[in-house]
Amino acid sequence: MISARPASFSRVTITELMIPSYANFGGKIHGGILLSLMDKVAYATASKHSGAYCVTVSVDTVDFLEPVEVGELVSLMASVNYVGNSSMIIGIKIISENVKTGNVKHTNTCYFTMVAKGEDDKPTTVPQLILENKTDVRRFVEAIYRKKFKRDYEVNLNEIKKSWDKQEIATLLENERCITQLK
Ligand SMILES: CC(C)(COP(=O)(O)OP(=O)(O)OC[C@H]1O[C@@H](n2cnc3c(N)ncnc32)[C@H](O)[C@@H]1OP(=O)(O)O)[C@@H](O)C(=O)NCCC(=O)NCCS
**Best CA proximity match to 38, nearest among 108, 142, 87, 123:** 108
Angle, alpha carbons 33-102-68 (nearest 5°): 20
Spatial separation of the C-alpha atoms in residues 92 and 78, rounded to whole Å: 4
Closest ligand 1 atom to residue 55 Cα is 48
If one residue of 38, 43, 57, 89 were mutated to test the ligand 1 pocket, choosing by the most ligand atoms within 8 A of its CB, it would be 57
Q: Assess whether the C-beta atom of 58 lies below 6 angstroms from ligand 1.
A: yes
4-130: CATH class: alpha beta
Q: Whose CA is nearest to atom 5 of ligand 1?
A: 123
- Sequence spans of domains, the chain: 4-130
From residue 152, give the alpha-carbon distance in Å to each of 31, 148, 158, 172, 179.
Answer: 29, 6, 10, 22, 31
Stated as kind and residue range, the H or E segment containing 138 is: helix 134-163
pLDDT the model gives residue 165: 86
If one residue of 115, 121, 149 were mutated to test the ligand 1 pocket, choosing by the most ligand atoms within 8 A of its CB, it would be 115
Average pLDDT along the chain, 183 residues, taken 10 residues at a time = 94 98 96 97 98 97 92 98 98 96 94 98 98 98 97 94 87 94 92
pLDDT the model gives residue 167: 87
pLDDT the model gives residue 168: 87
DSSP-assigned letters across all residues of 39-106: HHHHHHHHHHHHSSEEEEEEEE-----S--BTTPEEEEEEEEEEE-SSEEEEEEEEEEE-TTT--EEE
Query: What backbone phi and psi angles, to 5 degrees, belong to 139?
Result: -65, -40
pTM of the model: 0.94
* Residues 6 or more apart in contact with residue 124 via CB below 8 angstroms: 50, 52, 86, 116, 117, 118
Q: Assess whether the C-beta atom of 109 lies below 6 angstroms from ligand 1.
A: no
pLDDT the model gives residue 150: 96
